[in-house]
Each structure stands twice: as C-alpha cells, then as structure tokens.
Amino acid sequence: VGHARRRTTCSPSASASGAIHLIVGPMFAGKSSKLLEEAARLGTLQGAEVLYLKSSKDKRYSETHIATHAGVQVPCFAVSHLMRDVSSEGRQDDAGSASEQARRRYVSSGIVAIDEAQFFGEDLVEFCTRAADDDAKTVVVAGLDGDFLRGKFGHVLDMVPLADSVVKLHASCAVCGGRAVFSKKIDGDLGRQE
C-alpha cells in the first residue's frame, strides 16, 4: 500500500491542511451515528459543505442514504469505487450520472464522510490520502475494523497509521450485556466474510 503521509499537524498552514478521522468498531456500535454527528460538527465548524458517501454494497435501510439503526437518514452517493466514482482526476461521465454528480460535489466540499468503509477496496487508502494531502479536505471514515472471526475486514485498519484520530466504539453484547468489541455472525454462510 505504501502511501507517504505529507500532512503535518504542526505546520504554520495547519488550518489549510486536510485531516483523516477514523471511526471503527463492531456492528451496532453507533459508527454511522458518530460519523454523521462528526461530519455535521466539522461542517459547521469549518463552514464547509459535506459530501456523504457510502459503499453501494450497503442496502440495509436505504440505497440512497446513510442510515443509522436509530432511523436517522442523510442523503449520500452510494459508490463502488472511490477513486473511479468520486475522484476528480480527469474522468468525465454523462453530466447527469451519479458519478459525475459525486465528482462535482467532491470539488465543492471541504468535508468528506465515508460510511461502510470496510466494503471499499485498496482505493480507500489512496482516496482518503489524496483527499486530505492533495485536496486539503477533512475526511471522516467509519467502518468495521474486524469480522466475526476477529480478523481484518477490508482496508479500514490500513487507515490507522494515516489517521489524525482514531475512535474505537463498542456495542453491547446480546448475550451478557457487557462491552462487545467484535461482531458475531448468527446466520448465513460462515465461510463468507460479508
């Protein structure tokens, strides 16, 4: 993966530099709620527009919104590849396409909020690094850090050394009520990570 981090938090122009904030934890830990809360807070603080993105694989509550388990929904762009579908590097699609709309919104946004990050490929790291380092955007990323076998899930953990902050949330165990640090798969194919 090997992306060099060019941002510094102690530079004289720190206000003009980007940042990456990572929110991780198991299912039902409140990651999407924390993402929406943090993106809105930063948008207000910076007076910046927020671009909301999620993986197109996430169709649990809505295909067009980031949705929390508590029922809060925020319109977003559901994309399969961050670099291809959102990055503004030279690609142009039909003016009305979702990808072209997402790219235009990316250019005008100072905050980028990404939900269900575990479903993105290696381009998660490249996209977030470029957004923060090259485009001076604040990126807030939420996703599962591990799977039901307590193994790495996607490329979310690759973001840790690049992040300006990392928040690990916990769920409540459905069995004992204690703090849950990983998800349990209760149905479906146990051979599949997703």
Contacts of 80 (CB under 8 A, 6+ apart): 55, 56, 57
Mode of pairing for the β-strands spanning 50-55 and 77-79: parallel
Give the whole-angstrom CA distance, residue 42 versus residue 36: 10
Choosing from 38, 89, 116, 126, which is the catalytic residue? Answer: 116
Give residue 94's pLDDT.
Answer: 62
pLDDT in 10s for each residue of the chain, 194 residues: 444 455 554 444 444 689 999 999 987 788 989 999 999 999 999 999 999 998 877 667 667 767 777 777 777 888 888 998 887 665 555 656 777 888 889 999 999 999 999 989 889 999 999 999 999 999 999 998 866 656 676 788 999 999 999 999 877 777 777 776 665 545 665 555 45
The three-state secondary structure class of 168 is strand
Q: What radius of gyration do the chain's Cα atoms show?
A: 17
Contacts of 36 (CB under 8 A, 6+ apart): 66, 68, 72, 74, 113
Give the whole-angstrom CA distance, residue 30 versus residue 158: 21
Contact predicate 99/90, CB 8 Å: no
Residue 116 is among the residues annotated as catalytic for this protein: yes
Contacts of 172 (CB under 8 A, 6+ apart): 28, 178, 179, 180
